[in-house]
Structure 1
Amino acid sequence: MKFHEFSISGKAPVPGTAKPFQTFPVWARKLWPLPILLLATLARLYGSTASAIWCDEGSSLLMSQYSPSLIWFHSAHDVHPPLYFVLLHAWIGAFGDSLFSIRFLSVLTGIGTVALGIWLVYQVATRYAAVVAGVLLALLPIAVRYSQEVRMYALMGLWLLGATIALVYWVRNPGRHRYLVIYALLMTASFYTHYFTGLCALSHWAYLLIVRGEKQRLITLPAWWGANCVIAILYAPWIPGLIDLLQHLDQLKAGGDIGWISPISMDSLPSTIWLFLTLTDGQDLKWPVYLALPLALALVTGAVCLRDRSPYRFHVLLAIYAFLPLIVVFLVSWSVPLLVERYLMFSALGLPMILAVAIDRMRHQSRYAAVAMLATVLAVELVGLRNDYHTDDEQFDKLVNYVNENYQANDRIVVSDLFWYFGYVYYNKTGSVPLLYTPPQANGASGRPGNYGFGTLVNNEADKIYLDSLEKLPVGQTRVWLVSNSAPPDDFAPIPNNWNKVSTLKVGDTQVRLYTLGGQ
């Protein structure tokens, strides 16, 4: 059957029973995914420039300023692999670094992810299910949220859905090794994008432990092992840097690049499901409502898996893809906290696909129940989109623009923390290089960043930007802007006695203070 020869139910049309959809010209029937992709585009473009650049995005931008070879070096000292930063480097070179441009790269990959989700569901279910999955993916709050951020999460989702599609094609045709070649390339690209790719690989292996080919288990085929050996070989150049990074975990922890993830509790698992679908942890809800959503998802997923009697159990694959990474991270996090919802965005993409399959099956039993279920899921997603689109007026760029507008020649700008520094650098238009305040620690040790984590992005400029004491500002300085957290304690205390505060502007949880020095 050709792609356009299916009715909306996914079944071949019966002569004389053509539905209105089938009266469209052949070329129009092929374009049915376009309205869904338009919806995905609008959902991701809306509000994509409303929020200010924050720390992680600013670090992406600083990393992307290096040449590809230096990106390789510095990302080997960071907590994420290099591929996204190399692509962002090329993107900025071609399209500039405006806020719209730098976030549009993620918008595009997010739209591509929706397209691949439609494709995957169309391969394992019906066109009706593919349409529903496309709409739910287009509006999935966590997917929209991280399709509007200058980070690698949308790109990771694109690689892994593409690899899962290649796996489906290979499972159906184990003799077609080209599908495994595509699989190996996409998985390698994802490994070079984010380390949590290993959880998706684990899901694929778990699925192949279940499914059988016509003669034997596919997991035993030499071609499968060969494809994974290719992935390992292609990833081998990165292994020395990864080992070196693991040997310096103490520096990463000291710099706050790791160790910031909160310990988990039993609430963490259902809260993550709520975050996937609403961008809130749901813990302000009454406990019956709080537990209802994850329990309903578990029941629906179980029903979909139990009713999957197909030879290849592709619906089980969707369930494993969606839930196994989350469960593994949840269990590991009891020892080493790793549960961060954005790291698992790729697996959250499986939820709309499972729900679409369930809705498709339900409509054959009760169309009203299917409509009610779809409406409920859409309502939950719309709540999540409302949360995503809600932007505080007190944005960090407002603070930086205030300094830009009131800056005078020879003023110095001092930022108290790397968390604010990266965003400040992006919005800074004064021509003056902001200084980073690095006072000694209480035990006398240096307060400067280490060579690993965020420190790798700025240590090469240590002589230009680090300021260990306010008294060490250049002689003759007359005005200084101090940028810090607005909540006590004061990051800059004590302020030198001969400094006179001229003005203060508080924006959200940050503040900037202007001082004149030496009685000026």
Structure 2
Amino acid sequence: MRRSVVEQNENIRAVPALNRLSWDGAGWLSRLWWVPILALAMALRFYHLTSAAIWGDEGSSLLLSEYAVTDLWFHAAHDVHPPLYFLLLRGWIEVFGDSIGSIRSMSAIPGAVVVGLGIWLTQQLSTRRAAVLAGLLLALLPTAVRYSQEVRMYSLLGVWLLGATLALVYWMRQPERTRYLAAYVVLMSAGFYTHYFTALCVLVHWAYLGLQPRGQRLITRPAWWLANAMIVLLYLPWLPNLLDLVQHVDQLKVGGDIGWEEPVNLLSLPSMIWQFLLQDEAVDVWPPLFWLFPLLLIAVVAITAWHSRPARLLALFFLLPLLLVYGVSFISPVFIERYLTVYALGLPILIALAIDRLPSRLAWLGAALFVLVAGVELLGLKNTFTVDEQNQFNVPVEFINRNYQEDDRIVLSDMMWYLSYVYYDQTDAQLQLFTPPKPDGTSTRPNAYGFGTLVDQDGGRIYLDHLSALPADTRRVWLVSSNEAPDEFAPLPGGWRELSRQEGGGARARLFVLCNVPAPQPEGCR
């Protein structure tokens, strides 16, 4: 009996210790609540990472990254993007190689980092519950997943701009801490060296500071102006290149690097919101639903921003660039999803803030909103990951690689095909770009700006104005063009006989033998 009492006393003393151990362990684990969300974000961004073929814009990134640093600076200056991403890509390839998995990982990893920054920013503006919801919606955001799987600068830009916005929030809370402004200067400068649309983020930050109550307006502080002056100073080395590019905008239009965008209309704005979440413009959706869903989201954003001052920063981050670029596009169309995908990151965070602010009696409404948005995102992810691997541009290129014979000629009808083809080419052929003159005799050769800067130095060997200008000893020619009518190579010279063809990714590769050449005639003519 005595032993039983002693054991009971020992057990009683052990319970608090056990509870304390469990509580401490739970506290330690609770600080890692964001890890599963980042794991989800990483998994989604690496899922099917290599399924889609390299396309033209990605090919241009790879061609730029092949230049030596000084040459890269020059050619990037003649392109329509600043050089930082391409410089980093060059270093990445030197370390990790140029396989599709490697080069796209340089976008997938920053894409997951963006989700972490979004969680961090949300927790600074609201509660942990809001941060969890924001993290989940950011991890699932289809437009962010898509552009985390391309060899382009958009996910990296998200790191710079969300990081800069986070630094701004910290500085606003502790204006005496200049290290936050120092971080802001570095991040915004990196943004400007990555993409010109960083200027929209500048407008967002200045607008938010300007909207603060009169006694809290940090916009008048000398430290803020000094920080922005430092950003300008750091950008000065690139500024002459930007001004030179602006002066040659007509040459960019001639080359098709700008000015190819479709004009906007009343449907473009809701279509863009659908595109962010569904990866589909939704023009075939039932008309009331087409309008109601985007309007619901805009209403949620507006109401949340009205009742929450911190939410106004995210509302400006999402809405100001979207509406400004939409308005400008009535004059000069630039309303393209990938240009705005970094600013779409504000939408999931705002939805999370809206749900978190709802009173407990309306918890069902918040749950319904979360399920609705997450459900649309899941459909968007399905659209993102739907890739027909047998209908990709690499299929016709690999067909040529397998059937290529020494001295075959390969001619491509379009610069975008050329940029993609270079990555997959395993032949020793000099690829040529078909540049037939216009009916009035005007040349269609690219100029030294835009994509033309990537091949201009080799233009004499690359450009082919007439198929009849091929060397006289040519026996076989591969023609790569769109698989849609009309045929960009028509009319073909006499005596050309088609032997085989392969389609994929919207392109068609055809092998021709030239039967009008001196004997011996190639196989297929007899």
Same fold (TM over 0.5): yes
Identity %: 52
- Give yes or no for the alignment of 1:317 onto 2:313: yes
Q: In the alignment, what sits opposite 1:429?
A: 426
- Structure 1 residues 31, 78: closer, same or farther in 2, change over 3 A? same
- Structure 1 residues 111, 101: closer, same or farther in 2, change over 3 A? same
Name the amino acid aligned to 1:303: I
List gaps (5 residues or longer) in structure 2.
1-15
Q: In the alignment, what sits opposite 1:188?
A: 189
Q: In the alignment, what sits opposite 2:404?
A: 407
Q: CA deviation at 1:21?
A: 10
- Structure 1 residues 412, 137: closer, same or farther in 2, change over 3 A? same
Inter-partner Cα distance in structure 2 for 1:493 and 1:425: 24
- Structure 1 residues 25, 460: closer, same or farther in 2, change over 3 A? same
Q: Could you say what secondary structure the match of 1:505 adopts?
A: strand
- Structure 1 residues 19, 266: closer, same or farther in 2, change over 3 A? farther
Q: In the alignment, what sits opposite 1:245?
A: 245
Inter-partner Cα distance in structure 2 for 1:34 and 1:450: 49
Q: Could you say what secondary structure the match of 2:511 adopts?
A: strand
Q: Could you say what secondary structure the match of 1:101 adopts?
A: helix
- Give yes or no for the alignment of 1:148 onto 2:149: yes
Name the amino acid aligned to 2:453: T
Inter-partner Cα distance in structure 2 for 1:225 and 1:71: 32
Q: Could you say what secondary structure the match of 1:495 adopts?
A: coil
C-alpha contact 2:394 2:504 (8 A) present in aligned 1: no
Match of residue 494, structure 2, among 494, 497, 508: 497
Q: CA deviation at 1:447?
A: 2.0
- Give yes or no for the alignment of 1:70 onto 2:67: no
Q: Could you say what secondary structure the match of 2:391 adopts?
A: coil
Q: CA deviation at 1:178?
A: 1.1
Inter-partner Cα distance in structure 1 for 2:506 and 2:179: 53
- Give yes or no for the alignment of 1:396 onto 2:393: yes
Q: In the alignment, what sits opposite 1:231?
A: 231
Q: In the alignment, what sits opposite 2:180?
A: 179
Q: CA deviation at 1:37?
A: 0.4
C-alpha contact 2:272 2:337 (8 A) present in aligned 1: yes
Q: Which moved more, 1:360-369 or 1:448-457?
A: 360-369
Inter-partner Cα distance in structure 2 for 1:21 and 1:445: 79
Name the amino acid aligned to 2:312: V
Q: In the alignment, what sits opposite 1:262?
A: 262
Name the amino acid aligned to 1:125: S
Name the amino acid aligned to 2:306: L
Inter-partner Cα distance in structure 2 for 1:429 and 1:272: 39
Inter-partner Cα distance in structure 1 for 2:94 and 2:465: 35
Inter-partner Cα distance in structure 1 for 2:66 and 2:247: 26
C-alpha contact 2:392 2:504 (8 A) present in aligned 1: yes
Inter-partner Cα distance in structure 2 for 1:55 and 1:281: 22
C-alpha contact 1:212 1:218 (8 A) present in aligned 2: no
Q: In the alignment, what sits opposite 1:4?
A: none
Q: In the alignment, what sits opposite 1:379?
A: 375
C-alpha contact 1:54 1:423 (8 A) present in aligned 2: yes
Q: How does 1:89-488 map to 2 (within 5 A)?
A: 89-212=90-213, 215-308=215-308, 313-362=309-358, 364-392=360-388, 393-488=390-485
Q: CA deviation at 1:24?
A: 3.6
Q: Could you say what secondary structure the match of 2:303 adopts?
A: helix
* Post-superposition CA distance 1:467-494 (Å, at most 9, x none): 2221222232211111011112211122
Q: How does 1:1-20 map to 2 (within 5 A)?
A: none
Q: In the alignment, what sits opposite 2:3?
A: none
Inter-partner Cα distance in structure 2 for 1:20 and 1:330: 56
C-alpha contact 1:22 1:29 (8 A) present in aligned 2: no
How well do the aligned residues superpose, as a CA RMSD in angstroms?
1.7
Q: Which moved more, 1:222-231 or 1:465-474?
A: 465-474
Q: CA deviation at 1:26?
A: 3.6
Q: Could you say what secondary structure the match of 2:78 adopts?
A: coil
Q: CA deviation at 1:203?
A: 0.5
Q: CA deviation at 1:507?
A: 2.2
- Structure 1 residues 22, 290: closer, same or farther in 2, change over 3 A? farther
Q: How does 1:21-40 map to 2 (within 5 A)?
A: 24-40=25-41
* Post-superposition CA distance 1:7-60 (Å, at most 9, x none): xxxxxxxx9xx9999664443222111100000011111111111011111111
Inter-partner Cα distance in structure 2 for 1:19 and 1:302: 45
Bigger Rg, which one = 2
Inter-partner Cα distance in structure 2 for 1:201 and 1:399: 44
TM-score for both structures, normalised by structure 2: 0.92
Q: Could you say what secondary structure the match of 1:76 adopts?
A: helix
Q: In the alignment, what sits opposite 1:6?
A: none
Q: Could you say what secondary structure the match of 2:82 adopts?
A: coil
C-alpha contact 1:363 1:370 (8 A) present in aligned 2: no
Inter-partner Cα distance in structure 2 for 1:176 and 1:508: 53
C-alpha contact 1:117 1:133 (8 A) present in aligned 2: yes
Inter-partner Cα distance in structure 1 for 2:258 and 2:134: 35
Q: Could you say what secondary structure the match of 1:413 adopts?
A: strand
Q: Could you say what secondary structure the match of 1:516 adopts?
A: strand
Q: CA deviation at 1:281?
A: 1.1
Q: CA deviation at 1:496?
A: 1.4
Inter-partner Cα distance in structure 2 for 1:364 and 1:24: 29
- Structure 1 residues 278, 20: closer, same or farther in 2, change over 3 A? farther
Name the amino acid aligned to 1:142: T
Q: CA deviation at 1:438?
A: 1.5
- Structure 1 residues 19, 67: closer, same or farther in 2, change over 3 A? farther
- Structure 1 residues 245, 19: closer, same or farther in 2, change over 3 A? farther
Q: Could you say what secondary structure the match of 1:237 adopts?
A: coil
Inter-partner Cα distance in structure 1 for 2:22 and 2:455: 58
* Post-superposition CA distance 1:312-336 (Å, at most 9, x none): x221101111111101111111111
Inter-partner Cα distance in structure 2 for 1:258 and 1:287: 32
TM-score for both structures, normalised by structure 1: 0.93
Inter-partner Cα distance in structure 2 for 1:466 and 1:334: 35
Q: Which moved more, 1:46-55 or 1:362-371?
A: 362-371
Inter-partner Cα distance in structure 2 for 1:363 and 1:291: 28
C-alpha contact 2:395 2:503 (8 A) present in aligned 1: no
Q: In the alignment, what sits opposite 2:11?
A: none
Q: Could you say what secondary structure the match of 1:515 adopts?
A: strand
